[in-house]
Each structure stands twice: as C-alpha cells, then as structure tokens.
Amino acid sequence: MKMEKIKTVIRKEWAEVFKNRLVLSTIIFLPLLFTALPLIMLSVTGEAGSSDLTSEMPSQFTQLCPAGMSSGECFQVFMVGQMMLLFMISPLIIPVNIAAYSIVGEKTTRSLEPLLATPITTAELLLGKNLAAAVPAVGATWIAFLIYVVGASILVSSPEVMSALLDPMWWLAILLVGPLLAILSVNFSIMVSSRVNDPRVAEQLSAVVILPLLALFFAQLFGIILINRQIVLAIAAGLFVIDIGMVYMAIRLFQRETILTRWK
Amino acid sequence: MIKTEELTKRFGETLAVDRLSFHVNEGEVFGFLGPNGAGKTTTVRMLTSLISPTAGSAVVNGFQVGKEDKNIRRSVGILTETPGMYDNLSAEYNLRIFASLYEVKDIPGQVEKYLRMLGLWDRRFDEAGTFSKGMKQKLAIARALLHEPRILFLDEPTAALDPEAAHLVREFIAELRKAGRTIFLCTHNLDEADRLCDRIGVFKTHLLVIDSPANLRSQVFGRKVVFHLRQAQDGLAKEIMALTFVKDIKVVDNKLIVTLDDPENHNPEIIRVLVAAGADVQFVGELRHSLEDVYLHLVQNSG
C-alpha cells in the first residue's frame, strides 16, 4: 500500500468537495448548530437556579446527581447531557455527503474508469476516500466540541456543574466514539455508493446509518437508557468490531468490474 | 506487444467477445472496427485489466491479463470513450492527480510537457469543466500519456468532436505513430482508421478479418481499374474479357471497369488491345473502394 497514492486521493477528494458549497456548508453549519444547542440549553437552564426540578428527570439520573449539586444544577447537567449526543451525530452525518458522492459521483462524471485504469489498488482508493470523508467530519466535531467547552466555561459558574459537563465520559465519546462513528458512516456510504447510480439515492440510503444513534438519543431523552462511561466504552468496543467488518465489506463489495459494466 | 488467444467475455448469458485471437506488433497502429455493441470497449477493458476475461488468455507488454494486472495498468495508457475529467479542478491539477497515481517521477515536468504538446499550457489553471469537448479530449489524451506508456488504447478518440477538434486529435495520433508508439485504436470513423492504421481488425463479437487497409480492399473487392475511353464501342468488353487474366468487366457510360489481380502487369496489355481495337484511351486509374465499403460488406455479410 502506497501512502503517496492515498494522499493523492485525499487531496483530490478535498479539492473537489470543498468546491461544493452544499457539502462545505454541511461541514460548517452542522457542527456550529450542534455547538449552539447545548450552549443555549446551558444558558436557559442556568436560570433555573436552585429550584426543585427533580420530578422532571429520570429517577436513575437523579440518583447519580453528584453530592453538593442543587437539583436545578443537576437538571442543567441532565438537559445539556441530552444535547451532548449531537456531537456524536455530526461525525455520522457530515461524511455521508462526502462519501456517498465519492463513488457514485465518479460514476456520473465518468471519471471512475480512468481512475481504475491506474495502478491504484482497491484498498488504497477506498482508504483515501475513507480518510477524505472522515477527517473533516471528525475535525469539525472536535473543533465544535472545543468551542462548546470554551462557551460552557464562560456560561457556567459552578465548578461541580462544569466538572459534570466535562466528564471524561464525554471526552471518550468525542475523541474515540466520534471517529469510530465517522468510519462506520463513511464505509456504509461507500458501500451504498458502489451499488447505486444516483448520488441522491446514495445520500438517502446512506442516511440510514444515523438511525441507531437517533434511537439512542431518544432512548436517553425519554429516560429509557442513561448513557454512562460503561455504555460509551461498550459502544466504542462494538463500533470498533463493526468498523473492521465494514471496511472489509466495503473492499469486498467494491467490485471494479461490476461497477464499470453495470453503469446506466 | 499484445497477443490474445481465444479471448472470451460473457456477461451472464450474453456473449460479448467470442474467442478473439490476434496480435499487435510494437510500433503498430492497430485499428479495431466494429458496430456499436460489438464488444470493442469490452475488449479494451480486458486488455487494460479493468475487467477479467471469462476464458482465453491475453498478454499485454509481456504481462498476463488477470495475473499481472497492476503491471499492465502501469504500462498502458487508456483514453476512455468519454474524457471523464474532474470538471471542478484545473487542467493542470487533473493531470497531477493521475501522474501521481501512475507513479510518475517528474510530475511537474511531464504535466508541462503534455500540456504544451497538446496546446493547453495557457489554459492550465482553468477548470476542466470550462473546456470544449475537443480540449477535454486532448486533456484526456495527455492524461493517458503522462507515464509514457508503451501501448496506448484509444477508445473512439474523435467521437462527438467537431471536425476541427477531430482533425487536431487525429494529427496528434499521427504524431504519436511517427514517434513509434504502439496504438490500439477503436473507432467508428473509417476514414480515420484508413489514414492512421497499419492494420485493421473488423470485429463483431468475433473477429471477422484482420489485415492492412489496402489488403482488405483487394481481399473483399479485388483490384479494379477504370479505363476512360472517348467512346466505348460495342464488342470492346468482349475482347477484354477474352484475356485470361481479366476476372470481370463492367461498362459504365464510356468507362470500362476491369477487375484484375495484378494491374501493374496487366494494364499495358489491356491498353494495347484497346488501342488495336481503335479505342481512344483518355486515362487510366485504379478504382479505390472506401474502407466503409469494405467494412459494410464484412459486417453485413457476417450474419
């Protein structure tokens, strides 16, 4: 495997993608939105002060509320915690736009055949396309999270609340689960993209990958599940295994001959 | 340079290429003619290791198709049916990408060489999407040549181009021919094939015939000589037909069209007979069938 070829594919993808305003706005707008929402939530719930809001929260969360934290602060941590999952959504959504277009876009512009005629291997090509889609998504998510951390430190005065908001669980989620989700999303999109002929269909089908995370988001919102360090680690371990399988499947399903000969 | 033996490709029940056997010599321009859907592109894709054969074998540049695909892809250049450029990127960047993928050592040098050679240097920073069809085609040819391949596969290089652009592309192919590059040319343009190719294979799922354009003409139609007379007299055709070497004769207005195997040796004798019979021979010329006539004859009679 030659790194120079992988880098060439990445540079080519970025040169193309960043000229596409729709994709560019997705990369910028979504993380900004997902940063703004928890900050707004912090600002709004901050006014709840010390009022008793225990009844508004799931009982298992109330039990986990750190000692010395008022119920209002605990509610604030709970509500912002709901929003933290949004930082998991952006590494899933952003690469879909890039990756779904990556193969099917080459099909529609008829540039895939000359590309496949070069001595590039399938693994080099797909790794390049993987990184080209995953790196901006993960980078944008991390930058957004840093903006959130800075914003939270300005808005929150209580050290207990700040400590709860920056629980290592969230760092783990952002730094580890985020990239794993991005890899999952990219490979799923590439698999879909290899099999369809229309970029819109590729995007729509690829968006299916977000459903499990949305289910988790709503499960936490309705108190069915409470995300903790163990769950995050379990998700990371599960995603790691799934990602290996997805990369393997993406390479196996990328049949050069089928892709070339089944063009419409 | 290229040698195929019983090369076959099936897509399910459809037989796309049937037991194709031929060879292409080094420095030769080989024309591959056939109607739409005949399997020309499939053959090119097999020979460039883009798809694998169902049966048979092929050796390209000394490398076995299906076993040494990476080496084949490294040693051949391909101009696909459509240019397939990255329209949002500049002409220069398009070439740099492919030069890197082909592991070209002097990327800036090679990119400049071919952009200049094809007259695109001044437009190098323009997006490929702003180029005319002819310019895009030239850019695609440059892309196929960046790594100095020993064999160049050109699939319909002048299709959909206006006459001026097609002329420019043809001129460039002629230059490549002079430079001794081996070229495998798929084309519908029979005039182009006639002018550029050393040998031609007419193909319709299987190979119908393979030879030089001149030999194909004489193989299919024989050689015909037209004798223009001031006035064709009755009985002249019979006298000529009586000559043992004359294979056929037709009288059209004041012209005698005589089919011969060896006009260079037989024409003087015919002229003597005509003059002796009192005919005024105004001039003599060989009737050249177009390659289109040859092609249509072969394809329509292939069943």
Cα–Cα distance measured from residue A257 to residue B144, given in angstroms and rounded to the nearest whole number = 20
Measured CA to CA in angstroms, residue A227 lies from A81, A216, A220, A224, B24 at distances of 9, 9, 7, 10, 68
A260: nearest CB among B45, B78, B83: B45
With left for phi above 0 and alpha for psi between -120 and 50, is residue B56 left, alpha or beta? left
Q: What is the pLDDT of residue A4?
A: 92
Q: Which residues does chain A have within 8 Å of residue B70's beta carbon, measured at their own beta carbons?
A: 119, 121
Stretch A70-99: mean pLDDT:
81
Cα–Cα distance measured from residue B204 to residue B302, given in angstroms and rounded to the nearest whole number = 8
Cα–Cα distance measured from residue B206 to residue B184, given in angstroms and rounded to the nearest whole number = 17
pLDDT digits (tens, 9 = 90+) for A191-228: 888 777 777 777 777 778 788 878 887 887 777 777 78
pLDDT digits (tens), chain B, 303 positions = 899 999 999 988 888 998 999 999 999 999 998 888 888 899 999 999 999 999 999 999 999 999 999 999 999 999 988 888 999 999 999 999 999 999 999 999 999 999 998 889 999 999 999 998 888 989 999 999 999 999 999 998 888 788 888 888 888 888 888 888 999 999 888 888 888 889 988 887 777 777 777 777 777 777 888 999 988 777 888 888 889 888 888 888 889 889 888 888 999 999 998 898 888 889 998 887 777 777 777 777 766
Give the distance from residue A246's alpha carbon to the nearest chain B alpha carbon, in angstroms.
Answer: 25
A-to-B residue pairs, Cβ atoms closer than 8 angstroms: 75
Distance of CA A42 to the CA centre of its chain: 22
Stretch A149-176: mean pLDDT:
86
pTM metric for this prediction: 0.81
Give the distance from residue A10's alpha carbon to the nearest chain B alpha carbon, in angstroms.
Answer: 10
Handedness of CA B91, B92, B93, B97 (dihedral sign): positive
Inter-chain touch B97–A256, beta carbons under 8 Å: no
Helix axes B133-145, B91-101, angle to 10 degrees: 30
Structural domains of chain B, ranges and CATH numbers in brackets: 2-211 (3.40.50.300), 219-293 (3.30.70.100)
A interface test, pick of B101, B102, B143 with most A CB neighbours within 10 Å: B101
Backbone angles phi, psi at A251, to 5 degrees: -70, -40
- Computed over every residue of chain A, the mean pLDDT equals 83
Q: Which residue has the higher pLDDT, A93 or B50?
A: B50
Place of tokens 């194909």: B216
B70: nearest CB among A8, A19, A119: A119
Confidence of residue A51 (pLDDT cuts 50, 70, 90): low
CA angle B4, B5, B8 (to 5 degrees): 90
Inter-chain touch A256–B74, beta carbons under 8 Å: no
The H-or-E segment that residue A126 falls in is: helix A122-155
Q: Which residues does chain B have within 8 Å of residue A118's beta carbon, measured at their own beta carbons?
A: 73, 98, 101-102
Q: Which residue has the higher pLDDT, A116 or A71?
A: A116
Q: What is the pLDDT of residue B195?
A: 84
Q: Which residues does chain A have within 8 Å of residue B78's beta carbon, measured at their own beta carbons?
A: 113-114, 117
So what's the ipTM on this one? 0.81
Inter-chain touch B82–A19, beta carbons under 8 Å: no
Q: Which residues does chain B have within 8 Å of residue A115's beta carbon, measured at their own beta carbons?
A: 101
Q: Which residue has the higher pLDDT, B211 or A15?
A: A15
Q: Which residues does chain B have within 8 Å of residue A12's beta carbon, measured at their own beta carbons?
A: 86, 89, 97
